Amino acid sequence: MTIALLSLGSNLCPQQHLSAALAALRQRFGPIVVSPTYRTAAVGFDGPPFLNNAVSLCTEWELEALNAWLHALEDAHGRDRSGPRFSGRTLDIDVVFYGDRIIEGPGHLRIPRPELCHAFVLKPLADIAADFVDPLSGRSLGALWQAHVQFGEAFEVVALGESGPGTGGIVAGDLLTPHRRFTKSTRPAVCRSACGACHVLFLAVF
């Protein structure tokens, strides 16, 4: 079993998407540890504020399979990957740490994630895994947060009303399992989210 630390964020219908994502993670991986949820300003672009939190889970999955499943979960929530890097997100989930693995080089899969330098990533992780050691710096997440320029600032905590499995038509079983591929029989279906500000895309397999 490997400990994976995830960073979650959303600024489009954020409470709905984060709640459903946590329900899907619990259904797929069992007990998880969830940080408080914070409201933070958008970084790198002008847009609605984000809600951010972090999750710690244990998994037997290889990193590539876990990352693929999380991407499918993002896609199920209508994630648009065609826009600029810094833009609004229905759901953004990054594997920040996967045990003590270090992956550097070209491509988007970098472990630990370089976004760890941002308070909206580091603080929630330090809340739930203060003693976890960053394999790059050799320092604990608690120590890294205490050394951060924003340490000691007040952060707005948001109560996240978590939904049960299946809210919004999305359950863990609807997502792609590791190594499964899209086929002609996997057809996307679209439903309008409850808040009306975005669309939720889920996978309907016929």
Phi, psi of 24 (to 5 degrees): -65, -40
Q: Can you tell me the distance from the alpha carbon of 110 to that of 79, in angstroms, rounded to the nearest whole number?
A: 20
More confident residue, 44 or 31: 31
Q: Is 127 a catalytic residue?
A: no
pLDDT in tens, 54-103: 999 999 999 999 999 999 998 888 766 566 555 567 899 999 999 999 99
State which of 10-14, 132-136, 166-170 shows the largest mean pLDDT.
132-136
**pLDDT reported for residue 43:** 74
Q: Is 26 a catalytic residue?
A: no
Which of 28, 89, 113, 134 is the catalytic position? Answer: 89
pLDDT in tens, 130-158: 999 999 999 999 999 999 999 999 999 99
More confident residue, 19 or 165: 19
Q: Is 113 a catalytic residue?
A: no
Q: What is the mean pLDDT of the chain?
A: 79
Which of 26, 28, 75, 79 is the catalytic position? Answer: 79
Q: Is-contact 98 7, C-beta < 8 A?
A: no
Q: Can you tell me the distance from the alpha carbon of 194 to that of 189, in angstroms, rounded to the nearest whole number?
A: 16
Which of 75, 92, 127, 134 is the catalytic position? Answer: 92
Q: Sign of the CA dihedral 174, 71, 8, 42?
A: negative
Does 24 score more than 60 pLDDT?
A: yes
The structure's pTM equals: 0.77
Q: Can you tell me the distance from the alpha carbon of 95 to that of 109, in angstroms, rounded to the nearest whole number?
A: 9
Average pLDDT over residues 179-186: 32
Which of 94, 113, 127, 134 is the catalytic position? Answer: 94
Q: Cα-atom radius of gyration of the chain, to the nearest Å?
A: 17
Which residues touch 114 (CB under 8 Å, ≥6 apart)? none
* CATH class of the structural domain 2-205: alpha beta
**pLDDT reported for residue 175:** 47
Residue spans per domain, the chain: 2-205
* Lowest-confidence pick of 37-41, 174-178, 201-205: 201-205
Per-residue buried b or exposed e for 149-163, using 16+ beta carbons within 10 Å of the residue's own CB: eeeeeeeeebebebb
